[in-house]
Amino acid sequence: MADEKQSLEAAEANEQPQASNEPAPASSEPSSGKTAQTEGEAKADSTSNDDGNKTAAKRDEQWRIHRILIVEDDRVTQKLLSTILSKKGYEVEVADNGRMALKKLQKFEPDLFIIDLNMPVMNGMEVLKQIRKHKKYLMTPVIILTSQRDRVSIVKVANLGIDSYMAKPVKLDLLEQKLMEISRPDGVLRRLLNMRNLLNRQIKHYSEQEKQLHVQIKDKEKQLLEMEKHLQEKINAIHSSKQVCPNAPKLDTLKMQLANKKAEHHQWRMQVHQTLQHLQSELKRLRDDLQSINQLIEQFQGMDIQN
């Protein structure tokens, strides 16, 4: 429950008023006892400031929103959002459901997803799961639209990594405010930290599943081998008794049972191997994603993230 609360709080963060970033007024009093900067020091400071400004500008451009994919089955909401956002200069594409949205991604690379939670064919939660599996869209911001007042549903989708959610009908002034906040450096850092928490929880979940699977494999392997050994001992006992002919039907039955058990054992091994491979593949993907997120967080924490 603590993890779910953290995810929901992260999604609700954009609902809170943003602190003012206005610089404090400079003091008009002359500084006492300080030596004036030399011309060389002033030039070095100017160069340093220019480099810092260029770095900040490059960073801000990287996270600026230009292209938006709206995934919404309600045509009125779809048309309203598309028209308004297009007029504001965004490149907008629309999809009626999650499956259509995934097809759109083959030709259109959005900087932001606006996704309705309840849709036919593939709902918002399912499409978001698929989107987050692509490294390209791991950090793409997401706004969820919902007419539900069900906190449980919102918590579930928050656990997949969203920036905010909005109740329908959409308030356009609030949407515009959220778009500005999401692309701010402090909004990006908040998203990075939230995603890191989510990835750590997912890694913990899959690691526990992997550990449990290894225990199950060991127990099942022992059980199947003991059953095969028991059947083989019965077969050997008949051969040792030198009464094969009278016990031929029984011997055939035992041999068939042993063959079936070996076939069952082989099939089970293949299935569990596939499951284990999937878990290990997911863990590798999540750990790679976490490494990328941590690198981005280090970069942001090494900069001044104020506007």
**Percentages of the chain per state (helix, strand, coil), in multiples of 5:** 65, 10, 25
Q: Is residue 33's pLDDT more than 70? A: no
Average pLDDT over residues 215-237: 83
Spatial CA neighbour of 63 closest among 157, 235, 176, 180: 180
Burial class (CB in 10 A: 0-12, 13-18, 19+), 143: buried
What's the average model confidence in pLDDT over 257-275?
A: 85
Residue 10 — pLDDT band, cuts 50, 70, 90? low
Instruction: Identify the pLDDT of residue 17.
Output: 39
69: phi then psi, degrees, rounded to nearest 5: -110, 120
Q: What DSSP designation does 133 have?
A: T
Q: Is 208 left (phi over 0), alpha (psi -120 to 50) or beta?
A: alpha
| pLDDT tens-digit series, residues 275-307 | 999 999 989 988 998 998 898 888 777 665 544
- HSE toward the beta carbon, residue 293, CA cutoff 13 A: 25
Q: Which two tokens stand for residue 186?
A: 């402090």
- Any idea where the domains of the chain sit in the sequence? 63-183, 194-301
- How confident is the model over 55-83, as pLDDT tens digits? 555 555 666 889 999 999 999 999 999 99
Query: pTM for the whole thing?
Result: 0.63
Sign of the Cα torsion 230, 235, 236, 242 reads: positive
Domain 63-183 has what CATH class? alpha beta
